[in-house]
Amino acid sequence: MRRKILISCIIALALGCLVWISLSALPSGQNRPAPRKPSDFSFINTSQSQLVFPGGKAGWEKVFSQMRRLYLDGEGLVSIVHIGGSHVQAGYLTDRMRANFVSVAGGVMAERGFLFPYKLAGSNSPASVRCKWTGNWTGCRNALSTSNCDWGMSGITASTSDSTATVKLWAMRSDSTTYKFNMVRIMHPDHLPDGWSMKIDSVGSHHRHIRKYGYTEFHLSEYTDTLRISIARLDSSAGEFSLQGIYLGEQDRSEASGIVYNPIGVNGAGTYSYLRCKDFGKQLHAVTPDLVIFGIGVNDANVPESDFMPEVYEARYDSLIQTIRSVNPDCAFLFITNNDTYYNKRYPNRNAFKVRETMLRLAEKHHGAVYDLFNVMGGLGSISDWRDAKLASSDLVHLTREGYELQADMMFQAIRDALGDYMAEQGLE
């Protein structure tokens, strides 16, 4: 008993006492008040804010061990991929999750990881990614049935036919400073480099085209916090240049430590959308996830109740998981049930129950975990309470910035608690 109490105390000290951190210095440079807590809202079911393991914790043992080593010994790099639709693309949820993980790792800043400059594709972007460019660029995303493009794991492309073009971007931390990096991976279709040249405007940069994994990797002679890409067409018949994503990291990953949080989100995307990305699995080697957080389901379920087919939805997830396991067989999975939504702004969407049941089956089958956001929110129709509390938008589908950050804090607390339970069960060695 005394040993378990001692372990709990060590865990509390190692992981931090408070998760409801105030990110007062934001990429926008504006101060904001401290966030409200779940206990401030009577409609939030805080007792449900936990990870559930329907098939046991065996599938999480490796990532738990990696996190334990990172948080207690300060060693190791843990790669997390968070896949979803507009909830992920907006960035509020994932930026907050990244900041929370960093907060309990002693402030250790790992690689920024994967990102996409959405504004280059004519779409909304997280405040933590800023981008400028020259040339004419058009976007193409996997969520549109009328589009058919060469997609990688991001599910979105930005393409140009101009003979020369440039892209400049910065990635911000929660304290408004920028991430530094000395390695860049630029994702693109295989055939494009033959007719185009790409250059990183940095002293002493050199590159190698890794055709096997669908990206070109640049090594820089010194760290920088600003990425400048110059693109030129070498052959008039080369067609378009398509950018599929960017990874900012370290050349010597053996010396890096921390959490790398890689968001992959496209407005309107469902499970069917990512199955359209033929280079999804190939490019996933660029991040090699230890944990994949799935938040795909709102768009799949945004149909009349009679039209939603759980068996098809489950099969699509099985296919995605098979692809991810081909990259890392030991990858752990976390399924986030749909947030409560209204169909056509008029009817509470009862498909959320079917999504929840499907995710519980998937978690049992693939030894994953479930975070039951639907019930944490308060169940069917609860998003109206979130809207009235300014935690959800008037469309009764999306959350507000504060709502997403509250969700991130609750989810992170649940992951932290599950890690603490695992460490207590295993003992500290």
For the stretch 405-421, pLDDT in tens is: 999 999 999 999 999 99
pLDDT tens, 82-134? 999 999 999 999 999 999 998 876 656 689 999 999 999 999 999 999 999 99
Note the pLDDT of residue 75.
87
Tokens of 292: 């994949």
Is 334 within 8 Å of 294 (Cβ atoms)? yes
Residue 203 pLDDT class (50, 70, 90 cuts): low
What distance in Å separates the CA atoms of residue 300 and residue 313, rounded to the nearest whole number? 7
Tokens of 352: 């959320």
The answer on pLDDT for 195 being more than 70 is yes
The answer on pLDDT for 147 being more than 70 is yes
Note the pLDDT of residue 5.
34
- Summarize the confidence of residues 317-342 as an average pLDDT: 98
Residue 173 CB contacts under 8 Å (≥ 6 apart), including other chains: 27, 99, 102, 109, 128, 179
Rounded-to-10 torsion of CA 317, 259, 327, 354? -10
The answer on pLDDT for 20 being more than 60 is no
DSSP-assigned beta bridge partners for residue 347: 343
The answer on pLDDT for 19 being more than 50 is no
Q: In what order do the strands lie in the sheet with 51-52?
A: 51-52, 369-371, 332-336, 291-295, 77-84, 258-265
The radius of gyration of the chain from alpha carbons, rounded to an integer in Å, stands at 21
Nearest to 182 by CA among 154, 123, 222: 222
The answer on pLDDT for 167 being more than 50 is yes
Q: 252 versus 316: which is more confidently predicted?
A: 316
Read out DSSP for 129-182? EEEEEES--EEEETT-TT------TTSEEEEE-SSEEEEEEEEB-TTSPBPPEE
Tokens 């098979």 correspond to 322
Please calculate the CA angle 230-232-235 and round it to the nearest 5 degrees: 165
- Summarize the confidence of residues 23-31 as an average pLDDT: 44
Note the pLDDT of residue 29.
44
Note the pLDDT of residue 426.
82
String of b and e for 78-103 (b: at least 16 CB within 10 Å)? bbbbbbbbbbbbbbbbbbbbbbbbbb
- Summarize the confidence of residues 266-278 as an average pLDDT: 97
